[in-house]
Structure 1
């Protein structure tokens, strides 16, 4: 069995499919998951301080432990603050600067989990929709803080940003703070990207573009595990199915890179070794 990693999905054991989604992934041939905490406003009241993120992170850690029990490989948590939170906070009456401070405090807490070895990496970004100049500046300040925390804790940072095939500006910000640009991962990426490493959403055309190139990439579904939106963004069976399709199309080498070499380079994880340990 070859490793198959979904680099970005969400699990909601209290309201969504939770472990049943993991079973679907596993039965389809999936072996490893990077589970990103759901946006904080999906799991409770809006935060007012860094400590208010703790229950969100702990919920994710619990889901990861349950997933690892099911998988032939294992799961790892990626913790952080969704960039859309800034709009939730400003709509609730906070200034952009205050909202940014709350979000940076949440990232500080997430970084403590990374430092303790409980989480693999951090999640941050900036809005993918139109915002005011003040919100945009505050959002970029949060993103830069996440990059600095990634450098400080020697971990990758997954980013939710606007759609773009050129994010060299963010890659430069990472390098300025001591984080290698390739360890910045653009979640929901197209098949080609300048700057960070793309985590390509499992659209066939974009995956083919990525596989035909010679740059590192990973694959994801961004499954959101929302009972009001079943199957969104893509279902948990999608990465294994796309891997099988790409292998049939002759991209065996690209698949080995995407599921073994690139995850090891970016996150320091051994998908082959962790699969062998549990076989």
Structure 2
């Protein structure tokens, strides 16, 4: 087991409140030393919502907040919700449901607007947006970038981070500049499913050993922030995908065993404070003031 005083944060995973493991996955995470979670709402259609307006996303967000509260009760630290609209929805709207790219953009921006309401009220920590990681028509690409920029606008107004699902890249400086143009600092833009090195946003590194080695080296060489994640999807058809909920605590133990104490502190204490303004040490059971 890890030291009880070591915060261990999985920056991006999903929990299915009804159809799969849900809180059992949280218990697995906690059992091997996990302390804190950022829980991203599952894609709306995975929860049975085929959105036609921004308001249609509201029950998805409300259900996510409920399971995050249940998750917090199982953790020595706590969990926070990250709410938004999965960028892959645009293909579902345009290709499967017959909406134009502009109509799809309006629906998805409406969903981001609703998610921002929860952040403004303090019920969610951050927003989630992005653009497809696969080839799409130019009009769909432009509409997706417009949705992402709406999230940046809210992030700038609310001083909250925005997690991004995008194409694989080690250089997203242009995207970070779009955020900064809208009042959101680049370090508050988080590239989910990142490799070990990234220019522009803060990388949320998939927790395989090769990527973590690169991230740890960059943290030392350049004092570069990073986070760790599994992108666990909690899908009954894909058990364990993408990485299982025990992975981050196990990788933290591996990093510590290999003398990467500074990198662990970067990923689980300093970067969460920098990006989200959260105190992973102070929110642990037994911490001063708890």
Same-fold status (TM-score > 0.5)? yes
In structure 2, do the counterparts of structure 1 residues 234 and 148 end up closer, same or farther at CA, with 3 Å as the change threshold?
same
- Paired residues, number: 279
Compute the displacement of 1:277 (Å): 5.0
Of residues 156, 163, 168 in structure 2, which corresponds to 1:158? 163
Whole-Å separation in 2 of the counterparts to 1:277 and 1:204: 31
Moved over 3 A (4+): 276-279
Structure 1 counterpart of 2:277: 268
2:68 is the alignment partner of 1:64: yes
Q: Kindly report the root-mean-square deviation, in angstroms, between the aligned alpha carbons of the 2 structures.
A: 0.9
2:35 is the alignment partner of 1:26: no
2:51 is the alignment partner of 1:47: yes
2:20 is the alignment partner of 1:16: yes
Whole-Å separation in 1 of the counterparts to 2:151 and 2:286: 33
Compute the displacement of 1:59 (Å): 1.1
2:104 is the alignment partner of 1:99: yes
Whole-Å separation in 2 of the counterparts to 1:264 and 1:117: 16
Contact 2:101 2:143 in 1 (8 A): yes
Compute the displacement of 1:45 (Å): 3.2
2:120 is the alignment partner of 1:111: no
Q: TM-score, normalised by structure 1?
A: 0.99
Show the 5 A alignment for 1:212-231.
Answer: 212-214=217-219, 215-231=224-240
Of residues 252, 257, 275 in structure 1, which corresponds to 2:261? 252
Structure 2 counterpart of 1:210: 215
- Flag structure 2 segments of 5+ consecutive residues without an equivalent: none
Compute the displacement of 1:260 (Å): 0.5
Q: TM-score, normalised by structure 2?
A: 0.95
